[in-house]
Structure 1
Amino acid sequence: MTSMNWAIGVIFLSQTVFGVLGNLSFLYHYIILHFTGCRSRSTDLTLKHLIVANTLVILTVGVPRAMAAFGLKHFLNDFGCKLVFYVYRVGSGVTIGSTCLLSVFQAIIISPRNSWWANLKAKAPRYMGITTIFCWIMRMLLNIIFPMYIMGKWSNTNITMKTDLGYCSFVSNSKMTRSPYAALISLPDVLCLGLMIWASGSTVFILHRHKQRLQHIHRTNVSSRSSPESRATQSILILVSAFVSCYSLSCICEVCLTLFKDLSQLMLTTSSLIVMCFPTLSPFLLMSRDSSVSWLCFAWISNTKIFSLIRNV
């Protein structure tokens, strides 16, 4: 094992540990808020599903890549390869679907009352949960044919075209079957990405227009602190910006990996690192933006208990 492979293995292992701990910390953050009595928000369920999807992506990419870099290249058989890549595809799809859903929901919530979004304001929170579950089901069904193109490296099956993915192989009988399949697996992601960018652009436009209307209000009695809705909107915008940056690169890499047979291992390694960037960083981005809200919630609970004790005395 070369020093380069050792370094790659350490990088993937570190990113995996860092990402899993970050997502578990974010889940613990929600558990604490739940047991302390904080009122849940409409986006909390979708964010919890995002945590699960992030963890699946990190584990199915980081762990096999680290093991392959450390020299264990034949540790997965056909079934193991098919299962790992299927779970990765589903988790990756739910990640982009959940992020898209969050951006669209936030655009609906902050839209003015006279806009055509107004009719959806009251209905949107009720459909967040079922839409998130539908995202899981759709991704499971969409990627059900994906295992057909994955096999273990040790397999002796005679395949015309085979792309080495490091510890497994992507196979197809001819290049003609690769192009339609690449379009099939990329189309939902491209649609979600476009919808996400459109919703985020609408959100920025609404916030800019609202800010212009309030520019003439500069009174001492007006608080300089942003509202919870504004902080939530900024959190979603930061999340979407990070996602668009990471996922655009990873989507391009995946299409290239699907269409072209001869690719260097450096390209495969770079693609995997980019894929893991958003699931690893997103919980830390959200926790850093949500820390002030959590502190206010804890402070409110503490004050409520103190006042309650004083009344009892």
Structure 2
Amino acid sequence: MDLCVAIKGISFFLQACLGILGNVVVLLAYAHIIYSEPKLLPVDMILCHLAFANLMLVLVRSVPQTVTVFGMRHLLNDPGCKVVIYAYRVARALSVCLTCMLSVFQAVTVAPPGPRLSRLKSALPSLVLPAFAGLWLFNMAICTPAPLFAIAPRNGTVPAFTLDLGFCHVDFRDQLSYVINGVVLSARDFAFIALMVGSSGYILLLLHRHNRQVRGTRRSQGAGAETRAAKTVLTLVILYVVLFGIDNTIWIYMLTVAKVSPVIADMRVFFSACYAALSPYLIISSNKKVKAKIACAAEQEQPSVDNQASGDK
């Protein structure tokens, strides 16, 4: 096997393993929290939904890419490619939208109390599920054209204005369709990124200016919890913006050329799924509820292992 192919295969394999493991752990932890607690906070509901969207993204992007790199050809037919490409587009869109939603909700949560904000804060739990439904409908609608261009790989050369993913081709057939698709998706992403960055900047400003005032007017435990949650959100936003910047720099380059090098296309595929693979570990390391459930599960597992070892003796 060629060294470059081996490096690419190992990279996608590690990305798929990390993404599946991390997001499944977060979802199982939240499933246990839902079972043991009457209701989740809005931020926890969004984090749980984000983990689901990221797991979906890894399954439909990193896993097929890994299998293809290691030599499995004709993995999907035309209908299969349409389903996988559509699922990936929707999952990727949900990932950016939910990260933005997380930032906005956290900004409202840590904002100074006021008549209007008090009503909004009390209404936040009831707004989460309608917001989820709205984001699903919006992104399913805007991603509808994606399956129209998805086809299974054909023998021979790859046509111009075609994204070669290995397991599927996205053939836009002409430059106009190619550019319009890129502009529409980039405009949507940049709009949510701008809102995400703005609300995150507001959180930073509040934490910088009012940290002592907030601790003085509220219980220190609640203030500390809000600060930890805000830092988690800010870390996720920074991670997303960095990876989004790399992903879209490559994407803008790809929009300017008719024939894209396979190496460039592979780089964009890899970076497009990095956030989905890495973000659950930020959630695990910074969210006390998730960390506590994982620690509890590990403690319950340890006695059973010790008992089994004692019995073997």
Q: Which residue of 2 aligns with 1:37?
A: 37
Tell me if 1:232 matches 2:229: yes
User: Equivalent of 1:269, from 259, 266, 271?
Assistant: 266
Q: Which residue of 1 aligns with 2:277?
A: 280
Structure (1 or 2) with the greater helix fraction = 2
Query: 3-state SS of the aligned residue for 1:227?
Result: helix
Give, in angstroms, the shift of residue 43 of structure 1: 2.1
Q: Which residue of 2 aligns with 1:183?
A: 183
Conserved? CA contact 2:22–2:280, under 8 Å: yes
Q: Which residue of 2 aligns with 1:16?
A: 16
Give the alignment of 1:143-222 within 5 angstroms. Answer: 143-154=143-154, 161-211=161-211, 213=213
Query: 3-state SS of the aligned residue for 2:42?
Result: coil
Conserved? CA contact 1:76–1:152, under 8 Å: yes
Give, in angstroms, the shift of residue 153 of structure 1: 1.5
How far apart, CA to CA, are the structure 2 residues paired with 1:157 and 1:7?
Answer: 24
How far apart, CA to CA, are the structure 2 residues paired with 1:51 and 1:33?
Answer: 15
How far apart, CA to CA, are the structure 2 residues paired with 1:30 and 1:154?
Answer: 43
Give, in angstroms, the shift of residue 100 of structure 1: 0.5
Q: 1:293–1:276: structure 2 CA closer, same or farther, 3 Å change rule?
A: closer
Conserved? CA contact 2:175–2:258, under 8 Å: no
Q: Deviations over 1:231-271 (max 9, x none)?
A: 11111111111111112222333343345332222212211
Give, in angstroms, the shift of residue 159 of structure 1: 6.4
Query: 3-state SS of the aligned residue for 1:210?
Result: helix
Letter in 2 for 1:238: T
How far apart, CA to CA, are the structure 2 residues paired with 1:230 and 1:146?
Answer: 40
Letter in 2 for 1:87: A
Give, in angstroms, the shift of residue 208 of structure 1: 1.0
Q: Deviations over 1:57-115 (max 9, x none)?
A: 11111112112211224322211221111100000001111111010001011111248
Q: 1:80–1:259: structure 2 CA closer, same or farther, 3 Å change rule?
A: farther
Aligned residues: 293
How far apart, CA to CA, are the structure 1 residues paired with 2:242 and 2:234?
Answer: 12
RMSD over aligned Cα atoms = 2.8
Letter in 2 for 1:261: A
Give, in angstroms, the shift of residue 39 of structure 1: 5.0
Percent of matched pairs sharing the same residue: 27
Unaligned runs of 5+ in 1: 300-313
Q: Which residue of 1 aligns with 2:103?
A: 103
Letter in 1 for 2:121: K
Query: 3-state SS of the aligned residue for 2:273?
Result: helix
Q: Which residue of 2 aligns with 1:124?
A: 124
Q: Which residue of 1 aligns with 2:253?
A: 256
Give, in angstroms, the shift of residue 2 of structure 1: 1.8
How far apart, CA to CA, are the structure 1 residues paired with 2:115 and 2:206?
Answer: 11
Q: Which residue of 2 aligns with 1:138?
A: 138
Unaligned runs of 5+ in 2: 297-313
How far apart, CA to CA, are the structure 2 residues paired with 1:163 and 1:31?
Answer: 38
How far apart, CA to CA, are the structure 2 residues paired with 1:185 and 1:19?
Answer: 24
User: Equivalent of 1:243, from 240, 249, 255?
Assistant: 240
Q: Which residue of 1 aligns with 2:94?
A: 94
Q: 1:28–1:244: structure 2 CA closer, same or farther, 3 Å change rule?
A: same
Letter in 2 for 1:184: V
Conserved? CA contact 2:27–2:52, under 8 Å: no
Q: Which residue of 2 aligns with 1:112?
A: 112
Conserved? CA contact 1:247–1:275, under 8 Å: yes
Give the structure-2-normalised TM-score.
0.84
Letter in 2 for 1:79: P
Give the structure-1-normalised TM-score.
0.84
Conserved? CA contact 2:149–2:171, under 8 Å: yes
Give, in angstroms, the shift of residue 28 of structure 1: 1.4
How far apart, CA to CA, are the structure 1 residues paired with 2:97 and 2:195?
Answer: 10
